[in-house]
Amino acid sequence: AALDPADSTPLKASLAPERGLQTGEYLTSGQGVRLPDTDHSLKAGTRGPTLMEDFHLREKITHFDHERIPERVVHARGTGAYGVFTAYGNAASITRAGFLAEKNKQTEVFVRFSTVLGSRGSADTVRDTRGFATKFYTDEGNFDLVGNNMPVFFIQDGIKFPDLIHAAKWHPDREIPQAQTAHDTFWDFVSLHTEATHHVMWAMSDRAIPRSYRTMEGFGVHTFRLVNAAGETALVKFHWKPVAGVHSLAWEEAQIAAGVDPDFHRRDLTDSIDAGLFFEYELGVQVMPDTPDETFQGIDLLDPTKIVPEELAPVQPIGKLVLNRNTDNFHAETEQIAFHMGNLVPGIEVTNDPLLQARLFSYLDTQLSRLGGPNFNQLPINRPHAPVNDNLRDGMHQSVVHRGIAPYLPTSLGNGAAPEATPPDKGAYVHLPKPVKGEKIRENPASYADHYSQAALFYHSLSPVEQEHMVEAFTFELGKCYETPIRERMLTVLAKVDAGLTAKVAAGLGLPAPQDTTPAEVVPSPALAQVTDRVWPIT
């Protein structure tokens, strides 16, 4: 086995005191030397100077000087909790992933909720997308579902992510505004890059100011491919449905909460769990047939700016999550957790959605610098609960004492190497042998060109009061733009979504409504006519 036996017992992600740490009766240095005094530095006489020789002073200050790690490049502000996921078992017909397929199977999870744009210390109740990231510590390895509380994203291709975030975070000259979409660069980008329109509509809706993480939906956003025990595949979208229903704050409530208690959501989560009032969600899936064109009812399933309306494919519950345990140490657990789209288990595969494909690279890459090298999966919060037998060795912050001389395969020595690779029928992750073909090209499929029809669908699905809130949100946020041409350009984008909405926002901004209010042509998927299945019930 690759690990020191003392480290290879399936460690729970909770932080039980580790061997040799924080267990003695007396204050010691980091080297275990007992200390007589931690209040006075060692000086030459009572009036100094302080002596370099004072190893306790130097160790204490040096360690303190290095206490902070870089905050996440996005989603820096967050809070987390442990929970238990229980499978209903009905998902066995679509996936062989044991934690979903096995009836009543319980799996420990950690969930981190976050805002996207603000820094670590920013307020909770700002207008923003929220992250809803879940790590399932399954028997077959870790599976991470790294989702948001909105079902679509601003961009169709991950290569635009640095542009989006450079535009949406603070202005680089003065680092303002914190955690708000009310600024020139955000509106400049989304008015020029109109595939963002659908997400912008969600961001200007009440969904962007959740009342509580208890009353917030979560979405995997991308389409995933599930594989069952018989090797059959289906395309699915994942949904978290809060048992307490979906509720938002009114704008005025959000403003007051941000001032009175910037930790409003964080406190709500942790106080509720302390009081035994656990947060509950059902995991559901929309199941679509795995057709060669990867569309459903004319909707391109690889386009992350599109939803599949629930009327066309209902969300079918497959399990329940209860968040029931608070963290012991924010840094060790919430801050050091590392989610990654590539943490997959057998029965769950990715699709070719170009946003998802870029994410497969980005998370691990950023964590190499955020968490200081390649060994962050050894941190207690990231350790799988499944046995780990790898040939990964050394590197910064290596904490495992690997034994033997042959960490490679094949080997005839059998001395320190991981065991042989797992046969496919013994639970190995075998990628579906999907054919890959195509000319190298930097271009989107034609179906990605429709930027407005689902934005309009969303607006028209809102109740009158929700629509009124959206008018107020656009008026307020665009009203914070210094550049009038940007406001005007955004009005021309809105005009393609809804003329009434545009007229009200224009009036609020004191600008004329754009003349051309013809909605852009909806580009139909070529495969629309061929798709006949409407619903695929799972049993």
| Alpha carbon of residue 520 to chain centroid | 32
**Minimum distance, C-beta of residue 219 to ligand HEM, in the bound complex (Å):** 7
Which residue's entry shows tokens 């034994």? 403
**292 DSSP 8-state letter:** T
In the chain, helix, strand, coil percent, each to 5?
30, 15, 55
Burial of residue 245, with CB atoms counted within 10 A of its CB: 0-12 exposed, 13-18 middle, 19 or more buried:
exposed
Instruction: Please identify, using beta-carbon distances, which residue of 56 and 207 lies nearer to ligand HEM.
Output: 207
**Minimum distance, C-beta of residue 20 to ligand HEM, in the bound complex (Å):** 29
Q: Which of 178, 352, 366, 378 binds ligand HEM (CB under 6 A)?
A: 366
**Minimum distance, C-beta of residue 260 to ligand HEM, in the bound complex (Å):** 25
Instruction: Please identify, using beta-carbon distances, which residue of 141 and 158 lies nearer to ligand HEM.
Output: 158
Instruction: Please identify, using beta-carbon distances, which residue of 141 and 147 lies nearer to ligand HEM.
Output: 147
Opening angle at CA 350, ends 307 and 334, nearest 5: 85
359 binds ligand HEM (CB under 6 A): yes
Instruction: Please identify, using beta-carbon distances, which residue of 321 and 501 lies nearer to ligand HEM.
Output: 321
Q: Which of helix, strand or coil describes residue 432?
A: coil
Pick the piece of the chain touching ligand HEM (CB under 6 A) from 81-89, 166-174, 237-245, 336-344. 336-344
List the interface residues with ligand HEM, window 35-64 (CB under 6 A): none
Q: For residue 338, which of 316, 374, 309, 363 has the smallest C-alpha distance?
A: 363
- Judge whether 243 and 280 are in contact, CB under 8 Å: yes
The pair phi, psi for residue 525, each rounded to 5°, is -70, 140
Distance CA 321, CA 324 (A): 9
Distance CA 459, CA 207 (A): 12
Pick the piece of the chain touching ligand HEM (CB under 6 A) from 267-275, 344-352, 360-368, 481-489. 360-368
- Judge whether 232 and 202 are in contact, CB under 8 Å: no
Distance CA 44, CA 61 (A): 19
Q: Which of 83, 98, 118, 131 binds ligand HEM (CB under 6 A)?
A: 131
447 binds ligand HEM (CB under 6 A): no
158 binds ligand HEM (CB under 6 A): yes
Say which of 90, 148, 149, 343 is annotated catalytic: 148
Active site residue 56: no
Structure tokens at 274: 């302390």
Q: Which of helix, strand or coil describes residue 373?
A: coil
385 binds ligand HEM (CB under 6 A): no
**Minimum distance, C-beta of residue 135 to ligand HEM, in the bound complex (Å):** 9
Per-residue b or e along 252-281, where b marks 16 or more CB atoms closer than 10 Å to that residue's CB:
eebeebbeeebebbbebbbebbeeeebbbb
Q: For residue 86, which of 72, 101, 75 has the smallest C-alpha distance?
A: 101
Q: Which of 87, 117, 133, 470 binds ligand HEM (CB under 6 A)?
A: 133
Q: Which of helix, strand or coil describes residue 514?
A: coil
Instruction: Please identify, using beta-carbon distances, which residue of 338 and 491 lies nearer to ligand HEM.
Output: 338
Q: Which of 189, 264, 279, 363 binds ligand HEM (CB under 6 A)?
A: 363
Distance CA 448, CA 295 (A): 12
281 binds ligand HEM (CB under 6 A): no
Closest-approach residue to ligand HEM (CB): 131
Active site residue 148: yes
List the interface residues with ligand HEM, window 67-126 (CB under 6 A): 72-75, 78, 112, 114
Q: Which of 171, 241, 370, 393 binds ligand HEM (CB under 6 A)?
A: 370
**Minimum distance, C-beta of residue 114 to ligand HEM, in the bound complex (Å):** 5
Q: Which of 221, 226, 288, 417 binds ligand HEM (CB under 6 A)?
A: 221
Provide the β-strand partners of residue 287: 236
**Minimum distance, C-beta of residue 145 to ligand HEM, in the bound complex (Å):** 9
350 binds ligand HEM (CB under 6 A): no
User: How many residues form the binding site for ligand HEM (CB under 6 A)?
Assistant: 28
Provide the β-strand partners of residue 81: 111
Binding-site positions for heme read 72, 112, 161, 359, 363, 370
Pick the piece of the chain touching ligand HEM (CB under 6 A) from 61-69, 120-128, 146-154, 191-199. 146-154
Query: The dihedral of CA 492, 497, 499, 504: what is its sign?
Result: negative
In Å, how far are 41, 109, 119, 179, 470 from 115, measured between CA atoms? Answer: 42, 20, 9, 8, 20
199 binds ligand HEM (CB under 6 A): no
Binding-site positions read 72, 112, 161, 359, 363, 370
Q: Which of 362, 389, 453, 475 binds ligand HEM (CB under 6 A)?
A: 362
Which residue's entry shows tokens 């963290």? 327
- The interface mask with ligand HEM, positions 289-318, x = CB under 6 A, is ---------------x--------------
Say which of 56, 75, 183, 222 is annotated catalytic: 75
Structure tokens at 58: 């130097």
536 binds ligand HEM (CB under 6 A): no
Pick the piece of the chain touching ligand HEM (CB under 6 A) from 31-39, 273-281, 295-303, 363-371. 363-371
In Å, how far are 91, 226, 305 from 236, measured between CA atoms? Answer: 11, 7, 16
- Nearest-Å Rg of the Cα atoms of the chain is 26
The pair phi, psi for residue 377, each rounded to 5°, is -75, -10
Instruction: Please identify, using beta-carbon distances, which residue of 376 and 536 lies nearer to ligand HEM.
Output: 376
367 binds ligand HEM (CB under 6 A): yes
Distance CA 136, CA 107 (A): 7
Residues that bind ligand HEM (CB under 6 A): 72-75, 78, 112, 114, 131, 133, 146-148, 153, 158, 161, 221, 304, 337-339, 355, 358-359, 362-363, 366-367, 370
Q: Which residues are catalytic?
A: 75, 148
